[in-house]
Amino acid sequence: MTASQIETLGAEVKEASREVSRSSGVTRQTALRAAAETLRSERSTILTANEADLRSAEEAGLTATALDRLRLDAGRLEAMALGLETVASLPDPVGATVAGSVRPNGLKVTQVRRPLGVIGVIYENRPNVTSDAAGLCLASGNAAFLRGSSSSIRSNMAITAALRAGLGEVGLPEAAITLVEDTSHETAAAFMRLEGIIDCLIPRGGPSLIASMREHATVPYVLDGDGNCHVYVDRHADLDMAVRIIVNAKTQRPGVCNAMESLVLHAQVAHEVLGRLAVEMPEVRLLGDEAACTISPDMEAASPEDFGTEFLDLVATVRVVEDLDAAIDHVNRHSSGHSEAIVTSDVTAAERFLDEVEAAAVLLNASTRFVDGSELGLGAEVGISTQKIHARGPMGLEALTSTRWVIRGEGQTRT
Amino acid sequence: MTASQIETLGAEVKEASREVSRSSGVTRQTALRAAAETLRSERSTILTANEADLRSAEEAGLTATALDRLRLDAGRLEAMALGLETVASLPDPVGATVAGSVRPNGLKVTQVRRPLGVIGVIYENRPNVTSDAAGLCLASGNAAFLRGSSSSIRSNMAITAALRAGLGEVGLPEAAITLVEDTSHETAAAFMRLEGIIDCLIPRGGPSLIASMREHATVPYVLDGDGNCHVYVDRHADLDMAVRIIVNAKTQRPGVCNAMESLVLHAQVAHEVLGRLAVEMPEVRLLGDEAACTISPDMEAASPEDFGTEFLDLVATVRVVEDLDAAIDHVNRHSSGHSEAIVTSDVTAAERFLDEVEAAAVLLNASTRFVDGSELGLGAEVGISTQKIHARGPMGLEALTSTRWVIRGEGQTRT
């Protein structure tokens, strides 16, 4: 695909986005429900396309993990349809007034939520993202401009066709959900440079995708980055609670971004906590600093890089500190800006940690696993932003909107 | 300056930003007032530095307009000091809770405003931006990392030294206001790539600066773009009001981004409005489409590019349309996303225009000149964003903050 071809495709998506942005919430919700139904009725077509993707991927030697991410079955397809129906039941963010006042000169000023326009999504090989992302975009009045990976292209095309049929049923333009079918790197780079077309680009992928976005993107973007999440156990902590939180944060689902990757222990409780963890989560490989290895002579030594690593596995670093300042300093130094927790019964330590640690979420006496759109009441999750501008932390439908100033006068002029 | 030297400098600013972000509102407000005083007490030093800049600029052949922007005098310096005092009197945005709830599992969840951290500002040759930008950053708990132009470097250095003395007086780190003294393009490019140091970059300059940012910046940024603002006079409009608004929007201050650049007239009122404008603002050069030139045979013909031009002068394009749809279409096609107004007495036309025109601000029966931080009640203006993410339209101190999730529990774990 040439740069000019992707611009032409983008112009169609932009045009469709205008129509979607003007459509009523009930139209968009009906479209989402119709899309869920077409996903169900097109099940065999989608699964056949997915089988073809899987065969190519096996021949290309993809790992078992990658193949599992790529695989669809009746259950996963039904989960996608239910996902669309869930999003359709959320309150429509479009048109909400977020602030307003009457100025001394009588101007009535409000700030009103509007769709961003065209949301670009670049993602890796999980085909369900096609449906999830399109649903979130449509529910918030946006058009979805999707660029998935080459390994899932047949699945993504089949899913997109089904979703578009749903749009067509309610009279919305099918271009409002558009998949870029050319999966070359050149086209991806051109996609990231569609100024005036893509209003916000969201990557769903690993560090190499994010590095490529920073390098190539000229359109605005929101980064869904890594989570190198810490749990700090203070000197004054209920150690039963601390161990419960650590085990939950590390082991309940180790492969996700809000799992704990680093444990920070006050020196006065380190011995006790490490002893209990050896019993409560023996399956976790701990990599310690010098003090931790002195306490637990069997513990492997952590390398300096380990303290900055998101393992996404049953592995965690351990750092022993002499006081709260050292704990905050260590967390701020290694944090990826995602979620950081303290376990303490001391109110001064609690408030200082909550105030001084810079991350999208800071937690007191709770597992980092709670930092998630559904757990925090957002209904659906677009992603978890680890940047500070636009949206920080779990993003719901509102993160796919902007606010516009609406000013009503009676002929006022400025003096 | 090498890339490594600017990184080292940036690391100092980052360190200082942590201290500023933890300082109380009263400390920051006291620092701003102290900085205003040091600007006053260092007046002769600053004006001497400015004279040296002016001499070099004259030798280099800068235009009279550029020299005027560069020039400081006692009045302009006092305005800078008063600006700092005004910002010091605004409510502190840091720490405000913007949303909160208790989850069913008892977790207390709030979203709390926090400073962004380090704000990078790249600006052209007006030295007052050094003081204005530093004041806004400090008032919102951020560090200011400033890169001005080479022509104003001596002035900027003298102003920065005075502001830093103010910080020092209240015990805040002087690195919280840091000027990059190397004004080479290479250093500017390296500045835009200070990932992990600059949390938000704000350009204060023209289209070439913005194009350079899109190309080079890898840090998050907010664009303060052009204003190609339209006023549409509907078929049902009070024409006295329409003419008053047009004259105000075009002539009250033609060189600013919220001035009208394009006039759109319904065919049924075009003749009458153009006739009155010839009397009311004869000094404005109008460039018309075919229909406008037919009505006013003396009018110059507009080129296609003219309809997309921000003249910043006593010039405007005129487009005659057959109906509201054509008006909305014309505005959306040429809008720079800044401010767009309709003059009408018809509620259907009003609501359709306000709903369907995509811009940071849409106005009914009011001059576009009102789209400005102080007129809309923000107190101070960081700039006017023409992008949709993070902040849209006039930006106040809140635009220099982010929200963080603060989650308080009693040992909750996720199941």
Interchain CB distance below 8 Å, B413 and A222: no
The model's pLDDT over B112-132, given as tens digits with 9 standing for 90+, comes to 999 999 999 999 889 999 999
Q: Do A261 and A228 form a contact (C-beta atoms < 8 A)?
A: yes
Q: What angle do CA B27, B203, B213 make, to 5 degrees?
A: 135
How many contacts, defined by CB atoms under 8 Å, are there between A and B? Answer: 199
Q: Which residue of A has its CA nearest to B247?
A: A413
Residue B333 at interface with chain A, using a CB cutoff of 8 Å: no
Q: At residue A83, does pLDDT exceed 90?
A: yes
Q: How far apart are CA B353 and CA B264, in angstroms?
A: 13
Annotation: CATH topology of B3-221+395-408:
Aldehyde Dehydrogenase; Chain A, domain 1 (3.40.605)
CB contact A333 to B (< 8 Å): no
Contact residues, chain B, for A248 at CB < 8 Å: 413-414
Q: What is the pLDDT of residue B346?
A: 98
Are the Cβ atoms of B365 and A394 closer than 8 angstroms?
A: no
**A204 in contact with chain B, both atoms CB, cutoff 8 A:** no
Residue A87 pLDDT exceeds 90:
yes
Q: Judge whether residue A224 has pLDDT over 90.
A: no
CATH of domain B229-370: 3.40.309.10
- The sign of the torsion formed by the CA atoms of B160, B161, B164, B170 equals negative
Record: contact B238-A409, CB cut-off 8 A: no
Above 90 in pLDDT, residue A225? no
Q: What's the complex ipTM?
A: 0.93
Does pLDDT of B336 surpass 90?
yes
pLDDT digit string, tens, across residues B268-299: 999 999 999 999 999 999 999 999 999 999 99
Shortest Cα–Cα distance, A154 to chain B (Å): 32
- Burial label for A303, CB within 10 Å (0-12, 13-18, 19+), is exposed
Q: How confident is the model at residue A211 (pLDDT cuts 50, 70, 90)?
A: confident
Q: Is the dihedral of CA A92, A95, A99, A102 positive or negative?
A: negative
Q: Does B195 touch chain A (CB under 8 A)?
A: yes
CB spacing of B408 vs A364 below 8 angstroms: yes
B100 touches chain A (CB under 8 A): no
Q: Lowest-confidence range among A272-276, A318-322, B210-214, B401-405?
A: B210-214
**How large a percentage of chain A has pLDDT more than 90?**
91
Count of residues in chain A? 415
B positions 17-36 inside 8 Å of A (CB): 18, 21-22
Of B21, B222, B354, the CB nearest to A389: B222
Chain position carrying tokens 């296609």: B304
The CA distance from A398 to A392, in Å, is 12
How confident is the model over A396-400, as a mean pLDDT? 95
Task: Assess contact for B72 and B46: CB atoms under 8 A.
Answer: yes
Residue type, B201: L
Write out chain B residues lying below 8 Å of A247, CB-based.
Answer: 413
Question: How distant is the Cα of A81 from the closest Cα of chain B, in angstroms?
Answer: 24
Which residue of B24, B378, B413, B415 is the best one to mutate when testing the A interface, meaning the one whose CB has the most A CBs within 10 A? B413
- Taking the CA of residue A56 and the nearest CA in chain B, the distance in Å comes to 36
B303 part of contact set with chain A, CB < 8 Å: no
CB atoms within 10 A of CB A253: 13
Interface contact flag, A402 B388, Cβ < 8 Å: yes
Query: Is B375–A103 a contact, with Cβ atoms under 8 angstroms apart?
Result: yes
Interhelix angle A128-139/A74-88, rounded to 10 degrees, is: 10
What residues of chain B lie within 8 A of the CB of A366, using their CB? 107, 407-409, 411-413
Find chain B residues with C-beta within 8 A of A114's C-beta.
358
Q: Which residues from A are below 8 Å from B189, CB to CB?
A: none
Would you say residue A380 has pLDDT above 90? no
Find, in chain A, the residue whose alpha carbon is nearest to that of B399: A389
Q: Tell me: the pLDDT tens digits for A246-295?
A: 999 999 999 899 999 999 999 999 999 999 999 999 999 999 999 999 99
Is pLDDT at B234 greater than 90 in this prediction?
yes
Q: Tokens standing for B89?
A: 């009197």
User: Rounded to the nearest 10 degrees, how much is the dihedral formed by the CA atoms of B200, B204, B206, B208?
Assistant: -40
Q: Which residues of B touch A414 (CB under 8 A)?
A: 248, 252, 367, 369-370, 375
Whole-number pLDDT of residue B382: 86
Residue of B nearest to A406 (CA): B362
Q: Which chain A residue has its CA at the smallest distance from B241's CA?
A: A411
A62, A151 Cβ separation under 8 angstroms: yes
Residue A167, pLDDT > 90, answer yes
**What average pLDDT does range A156-178 have in this prediction?**
97
- The model carries a pTM of 0.91
State how far residue B227 is from chain A, nearest Cα, in angstroms: 15
The CATH code of domain A3-223+395-408 reads 3.40.605.10
Contact A142/A173 with Cβ under 8 angstroms? no
What is the Cα–Cα distance from B227 to A310, expressed in whole angstroms? 44
Q: Where are the domains of chain B?
A: 3-221+395-408, 229-370
Secondary structure letter of residue A60 according to DSSP: T
Q: Count CB atoms within 10 A of the CB of residue B288.
A: 25
- What is the structure's pLDDT at B211? 87
Is B359 in a helix, a strand, or coil? coil
Dist CA B323 CA B325 (whole Å): 6
CA-nearest of B118, B350, B396 to B234 is B350
| Pairing status of strand A300-301 against strand A260-266 | unpaired
What are the residues whose beta carbons fall under 8 Å from the beta carbon of B251, sequence distance 6 or more?
B281, B283, B284, B314
**Min Cα–Cα distance to chain B from A220, Å:** 7
Give one DSSP letter per residue of A90-147, joined into a string. SPP-TT-EEEEEE-TTS-EEEEEEEE-SEEEEEE-S-THHHHHHHHHHHHTT-EEEEE
Question: Token pair of B157, please?
Answer: 């250095």
Strand A401-412 and strand A108-115: pairing? antiparallel
| Smallest CA–CA distance from B248 into chain A, residue | A413
- Summarize the confidence of residues A76-82 as an average pLDDT: 96
Of A375, A376, A402, the CB nearest to B392: A402
pLDDT for B30-73, tens place per residue? 999 999 999 999 999 999 999 999 999 999 999 998 899 999 99
Distance CA A2, CA A262 (A): 45
Q: To the nearest whole number, what is the mean pLDDT of chain A?
A: 95
The number of residues making up chain B comes to: 415
Interface of B with A in 377-396 (CB under 8 A): 377, 387-390, 392-394
What is the DSSP code string of B279-315?
Answer: HH-TTSEEEE-HHHHHHSTTSEEPPGGGGG----SSE
B22 contact residues in A (CB cutoff 8 A): 355-356
Give the integer Cα–Cα distance in Å for B57 and B67. Answer: 7
Q: Residue B239: closest CA among chain A residues belongs to which residue?
A: A411
Identify the DSSP state of A193: T
A57-63 LR contacts (CB < 8 Å, sep 24+): A57/A125, A57/A151, A60/A151, A62/A151
For residue B211, give how far its alpha carbon lies from the nearest alpha carbon of chain A (Å).
9
Nearest by CB to B214, which of A215, A218, A409?
A218
